[in-house]
Amino acid sequence: MANRKGFTLAELIIGLAVVVILIGIALPRLRTLIDENNLAKAETELKALQAAVESYAAGPGKAYPETGSSWQSALTDASTKPRLIGIPLRDPFSGAGASYRYGKTADGKFYVIWSVGPDHQPDLTFNAVTGAVTAADDDLYVSNGNVGSGGF
C-alpha cells in the first residue's frame, strides 16, 4: 500500500461536525450581543432625540416638532441654530431602517418618541388627547408627560 497524504473521509466528517457544533454555540451568543448593542444604541439615541425636541421647543417657535414621517427634519434643518442633530436617526430595530416613531398630543403639550424594540413590532399606544403612554412588550420610549408604564 502506497503512503498517501491527506485526510480520510471519517476525519473530514468529524472535523466538519466540530465546526458545525462550534457555530451552533456561537450564533445565539452573537445574536444576544447584537440585540444588547442595539438596545444601548436605541436608549442613547432616544435620549438625544428627547434633548433635541426639548431644545427645539425652547426655541423661537416654542412648540414641539410636527408629527409625520419627516418629523426629524425640523431637528436637522441647517437653518436651526444650533443644529440639534446632524442627521435623522434610524431605529436599529426597524427592519426597513425607518426612523424612530414620534407622536404628540393635539394640544401640543406632550410627546413620545419610541423604538419598536427587539421584536420589531410596534406595541406602544399613545393617547393623543391625554399624553398617556402604554408600552406593551419591549418597546423603548421617552416622553415628557408619561402617565403610563415602561420606558427605560
49 falls within a domain:
yes
88 falls within a domain:
yes
Confidence bin at 147 (pLDDT 50/70/90): very low
Domain count within the chain: 1
Checking if the pLDDT of 91 tops 80, the result is: yes
Q: Which residues contact 95 (CB under 8 A, 6 or more apart)?
A: 120
152 falls within a domain:
no
> DSSP 3-state assignment of 112?
strand
34 falls within a domain:
yes
69 falls within a domain:
yes
CATH number, residue 39: 3.30.700.10
Checking if the pLDDT of 118 tops 50, the result is: yes
148 falls within a domain:
no
- CA gyration radius, the chain: 24
What is the predicted pLDDT for the residue at 74? 85
Checking if the pLDDT of 128 tops 70, the result is: yes
What is the predicted pLDDT for the residue at 149? 41
In this structure, the number of other CB atoms found within 10 A of the CB of residue 142 comes to: 23
What is the predicted pLDDT for the residue at 2? 64
56 falls within a domain:
yes
> What's the rounded mean pLDDT across residues 78-103?
85
The amino acid present at 3, given as its one-letter code, is: N
Checking if the pLDDT of 70 tops 90, the result is: no
Domain span including residue 119: 9-143
> What's the rounded mean pLDDT across residues 67-95?
85
Checking if the pLDDT of 129 tops 50, the result is: yes
